[in-house]
Structure 1
Amino acid sequence: MVENEARKFRTLFLSDVHLGSKGAKASFLLDFLKYHDADTIYLVGDIVDGWRLRRNWHWPQEHNDIVQKLLRKSRKGARILYIAGNHDEFLRDFQGTHFGGIEVMDRTMHETADGRKFLVIHGDQFDVVVRNARHIAYLGDWAYDAALAINTVMNKVRRMLGLRYWSFSAWAKFRVKKAVNFIGSFQTVVSDEARRIGADGVICGHIHHATIEQIDGIEYINTGDWVESCTAIVEHHDGRMELLSWTHLIGEQAGFAPVVRLDDKRPKAANAA
């Protein structure tokens, strides 16, 4: 299948790819971008992980391929807007600048085909830890890396035992009471900001928890991430929002038996290749 046969949406929202980190699932995103296209693409922060690159340079060819793929889409006519996050906060010094046709900004407003207005923002601006206790944020970032490393070891053992892929880090994040409380508080305060400026909803990233839900009359949408969940938000041409998951490759690449998933939007012929 050629790229111009990809599913075409009005808008595509991606965040938290963390290029430059060992946890980034660049091959999954490359596969996703091959089969999905849009008139407008929002990169909702933490696309490049400046924090990890400062600690240890890691930039394999697949990470460069992601950049080239996005630039190619821009050359073919897609409008691409890059919303800076906390891991790529260095870009906030370049608001209003265009890099290869990609527009850089801190936040923006998106109007859907059916006339709704969404605040598009990474979300770290509303994270008290990131704003006021950066050293704790760095410690949490290190802990997340450690959880991903445990994932790798644990799933090697599970594969030897004939068990399916299982994410320890995702399990821990949604079982620890403080983490659950943080997610709820984050969703509320970001939704409050959308309400304050008169928006109908908010589209953000930052906490790696993909969802579409209503919070006190505000449509809260989180794009998720491309470290574990491999999720994206798309806007259809009628304005309808949908959460897509692209996790079918996780088990296959880790050596697990393939699992048929309903969220695999690739054509049958592509799956057989």
Structure 2
Amino acid sequence: MSGQEPRTFRSMFISDVHLGSKAAKAEFLIDFLRYHDADIIYLVGDIVDGWRLRRSWHWPQSHNDVVQKLLRKARKGANITYIAGNHDEFARQFQGVHFGGIVVADRAIHETADGKRLLVIHGDQFDTVVHNARWLAYLGDHAYDAAMLVNRVVTRLRQLLGLPYWSFSSWAKVNVKKAVNFIGSFQTMLAEEARRSHVDGVICGHIHHAVIENFGDVQYINTGDWVESCTAVVEHFDGRMEILTWAQVLPEAPDEPFIPLLIEDRVGQAA
């Protein structure tokens, strides 16, 4: 028995899964979706990694299971919006189209239970490298692959030592000065976009750095990712926002509890 009870929220925000990449923690996300549900679900970009898939095909069963899990939630009544990102920019040509109950959009406005209006956008539009120097973005993508390779080696070693999951790449991101400066600049630009859009805040992804912060009168929320930190943002039914981390796979509880037959019972039956 896992001891984990399923939880339901008003809304859920997931981004940067990068299905099609070897770095995707699909098993963790499947487990997270097993124990967490919401009436409204936003997939905030880079759910599928088209850049990786163009280079080499990688689509194991676990990646297909993530897709099927989301489609199943849509069939059960969840309102799901797929916000396109830069790695799945091919989806932007399908804005307004429904696929299996999931609608595709470039951005959306989410209204919380307590009346706040939040801009939901992937955020790559405000990454100057991605937007203005695509070749440099691809070069950076290869460097990121190398960092994720180191991350997988570290993860495997920690598993062998019985230690919990820890992301080397996430640690490096928040400790390297240039990365810290980039994150700060990105957050500021997204907060400004929220002000221009006359909303109370913004929910985005893209930089793989989960956080909930206030920039003056604007709330900035980043959902994180499912290749490094394994995080999602949820909205409680009172409108409160929270970051959840799920860097684990819990054992599934059996459908029926196993009750061993006692020796005394067997003796009694034999008599």
Q: TM-score, normalised by structure 1?
A: 0.87
Q: Aligned to 1:42, what secondary structure does the other structure show?
A: strand
Q: Aligned partners of 1:76, 1:95: CA distance in 2, in Å?
A: 23
Q: Name the amino acid aligned to 1:13.
A: F
The reply on whether 1:68 has 2:104 as its aligned counterpart is: no
Q: Name the amino acid aligned to 2:169.
A: S
Q: Give deviations 1:50-84, integer Å, cap 9, x for gaps.
A: 00000010000000001111111111100100000
Q: How does 1:57-136 map to 2 (within 5 A)?
A: 57-136=57-136
Q: Aligned partners of 2:225, 2:49: CA distance in 1, in Å?
A: 13
Q: Aligned partners of 2:150, 2:88: CA distance in 1, in Å?
A: 26
When residues 229 and 154 of structure 1 are mapped into structure 2, their CA distance, relative to the original with a 3 A threshold, is closer
Q: How does 1:104-183 map to 2 (within 5 A)?
A: 104-157=104-157, 165-183=165-183
Structure 1 segments (4+ residues) deviating >3 Å: 154-166, 266-270
Q: Which residue of 1 aligns with 2:222?
A: 222
Unmatched segments (≥5 aa) in structure 2: 259-271
Q: Aligned partners of 1:26, 1:162: CA distance in 2, in Å?
A: 21
**Aligned-residue offset at 1:159:** 5.6
Q: Give deviations 1:17-55, integer Å, cap 9, x for gaps.
A: 000000000000000000111111000000000000000
Q: Is the 8 A contact 2:165 2:248 kept in 1?
A: no
When residues 28 and 166 of structure 1 are mapped into structure 2, their CA distance, relative to the original with a 3 A threshold, is closer
Q: Name the amino acid aligned to 1:226.
A: W
Larger Rg computed on CA atoms: 2
Q: How does 1:20-35 map to 2 (within 5 A)?
A: 20-35=20-35
Q: How does 1:258-269 map to 2 (within 5 A)?
A: none
Unmatched segments (≥5 aa) in structure 1: 253-265
Q: Aligned partners of 1:82, 1:161: CA distance in 2, in Å?
A: 38
Q: Name the amino acid aligned to 1:145.
A: D
Q: Aligned to 1:174, what secondary structure does the other structure show?
A: helix
When residues 157 and 267 of structure 1 are mapped into structure 2, their CA distance, relative to the original with a 3 A threshold, is closer
Q: TM-score, normalised by structure 2?
A: 0.88
Q: Aligned partners of 1:236, 1:164: CA distance in 2, in Å?
A: 28
When residues 170 and 59 of structure 1 are mapped into structure 2, their CA distance, relative to the original with a 3 A threshold, is same
**What's the C-alpha RMSD, in Å, of the aligned pairs?**
2.3
Percent of aligned pairs sharing the same letter: 71
Q: Give deviations 1:183-238, integer Å, cap 9, x for gaps.
A: 00000000000011110000000000000010122100000000011100111111
Q: Aligned partners of 2:77, 2:159: CA distance in 1, in Å?
A: 43
Q: Name the amino acid aligned to 2:64.
A: N
Q: Aligned partners of 2:29, 2:35: CA distance in 1, in Å?
A: 10
Q: Is the 8 A contact 2:167 2:229 kept in 1?
A: no
Q: Give deviations 1:140-183, integer Å, cap 9, x for gaps.
A: 11111101111223444556667665432122212221111000
Q: Give deviations 1:96-116, integer Å, cap 9, x for gaps.
A: 000011000000100001100
